[in-house]
Amino acid sequence: MDMKTIRMKSRVPFGWLAVPLLSAAILWSGCSVAPPAGEQPAAGVSDADSEANAIYLADMEKCQPASALANEWKHGTWRLLSYTTDSFSGNLLVAAEDNRPPEITYPLQREGWHRIYIGIYREPFTGPRRVRVRLSHEQAFATLTGLEGAKDHQEHWIDDIFWKEADLTGRDIVFKQIIEPMAVHAWVAYIKLVPLTEKQVRSIQADRRRKDTKRLFIHNDAGVINRSGTAQEIRDQLEPLRHSDVARVYWEFGTGDRAKRFSKIARDHSLDLTQAAGGRPFFTSPHGRWWAESWKAYHQNGVDPFLVAAEYARQLGVEFHASYRPGGFIYPENYGPTLPGVSFYEQHPELVCMNREGEPMPRISYAFPETRRYVLSLFREVATENPVDGVAVLYNRRPPLVAYEAPVVEGFQKEYGLDPRQLPENDPRFMRHRSRFLTRFMRELRAEMDQVARELKRETPFEITAVVSNGEENLLLGMDLATWVKEGLVDVIIPYSSVERIGAYGNKVGPNTWDGEPSWEDPQDVEWFVSLVKGTRARVALNVMPRFLTKEAQYRKAHQLYEAGVEHLFFWDGTHRVRNVRRLGHREEVSDWMAAGQPPFRPTNLRVWELGGWDLHTETPG
Count other C-beta atoms under 10 Å from residue 600's C-beta: 10
* Mean pLDDT, range 310-334, rounded to an integer: 94
Please tell me which residue, 519 or 350, carries the higher pLDDT value.
350
Give residue-wise pLDDT tens across range 395-426.
999 999 999 999 999 999 999 999 999 999 99
If DSSP codes are grouped into helix, strand and coil, which group holds residue 609?
A: strand
Count other C-beta atoms under 10 Å from residue 235's C-beta: 20
Q: Tell me, what's the pLDDT at 17?
A: 28
DSSP 99: T
Nearest to 174 by CA among 142, 198, 199, 129: 142
Q: Tell me, what's the pLDDT at 35?
A: 33
On whether the CB atoms of residues 401 and 434 are closer than 8 A, the answer is no
* Cα 397 to Cα 373: distance, rounded to the nearest angstrom: 20
Given a cut of 80, whether residue 586 has pLDDT beyond it is: yes
Q: Tell me, what's the pLDDT at 500?
A: 72
* Cα 527 to Cα 539: distance, rounded to the nearest angstrom: 13
Given a cut of 50, whether residue 175 has pLDDT beyond it is: yes
* Mean pLDDT, range 264-270, rounded to an integer: 92
Decide yes or no: CATH 2.40.50.140 for domain 214-585: no
Mean pLDDT for the chain? Answer: 89
Given a cut of 70, whether residue 394 has pLDDT beyond it is: yes
What percent of the chain clears pLDDT 70, i.e. is strictly above it? Answer: 87
Give residue-wise pLDDT tens across range 461-501.
999 999 999 888 999 999 999 999 999 999 999 999 988 76
Residues in the chain, total: 622
In sequence order, the 6+-apart residues with CB closer than 8 A to the CB of 349 are: 360
Please tell me which residue, 208 or 287, carries the higher pLDDT value.
208
Q: Tell me, what's the pLDDT at 438?
A: 98
* Mean pLDDT, range 544-568, rounded to an integer: 94
CB-count exposure of residue 529 (10 Å: 0-12, 13-18, 19+):
buried
Residue 152, phi then psi, degrees to nearest 5: -150, 125
On whether the CB atoms of residues 606 and 599 are closer than 8 A, the answer is no
Q: Tell me, what's the pLDDT at 561?
A: 97
On whether the CB atoms of residues 218 and 137 are closer than 8 A, the answer is no
Given a cut of 60, whether residue 506 has pLDDT beyond it is: no
Confidence bin at 4 (pLDDT 50/70/90): very low
Given a cut of 50, whether residue 26 has pLDDT beyond it is: no
On whether the CB atoms of residues 328 and 258 are closer than 8 A, the answer is yes
Given a cut of 50, whether residue 552 has pLDDT beyond it is: yes
On whether the CB atoms of residues 320 and 314 are closer than 8 A, the answer is yes
Vertex 436: Cα angle to 431 and 438 (nearest 5)? 105
Phi-psi region of 237 (alpha: psi -120 to 50; beta: other; left: phi over 0): alpha
Q: Does residue 400 have a cis bond before it (omega within 30 degrees)?
A: yes
Count other C-beta atoms under 10 Å from residue 346's C-beta: 13
Chain center to CA of 4: 40
Confidence bin at 517 (pLDDT 50/70/90): low
Confidence bin at 15 (pLDDT 50/70/90): very low
On whether the CB atoms of residues 310 and 382 are closer than 8 A, the answer is no
Q: Does residue 495 have a cis bond before it (omega within 30 degrees)?
A: no
Q: Tell me, what's the pLDDT at 31?
A: 31
**Residue 91 to residues 24, 121, 146, 148, Cα–Cα distance (Å):** 10, 11, 18, 21
Q: Tell me, what's the pLDDT at 509?
A: 52
Q: How many CA atoms lie within 13 A of 10 on its CB side?
A: 3
Give residue-wise pLDDT tens across range 183-203.
999 999 999 999 999 999 999
Give residue-wise pLDDT tens across range 55-65.
999 999 999 99
Confidence bin at 40 (pLDDT 50/70/90): low
Nearest to 106 by CA among 74, 143, 164, 58: 58
* Cα 234 to Cα 260: distance, rounded to the nearest angstrom: 13
Q: Tell me, what's the pLDDT at 599?
A: 96
Q: How many CA atoms lie within 13 A of 332 on its CB side?
A: 2
What percent of the chain clears pLDDT 90, i.e. is strictly above it? Answer: 77
* Mean pLDDT, range 428-456, rounded to an integer: 98
Beta partners for residue 29, in sequence order: 7
Confidence bin at 42 (pLDDT 50/70/90): low
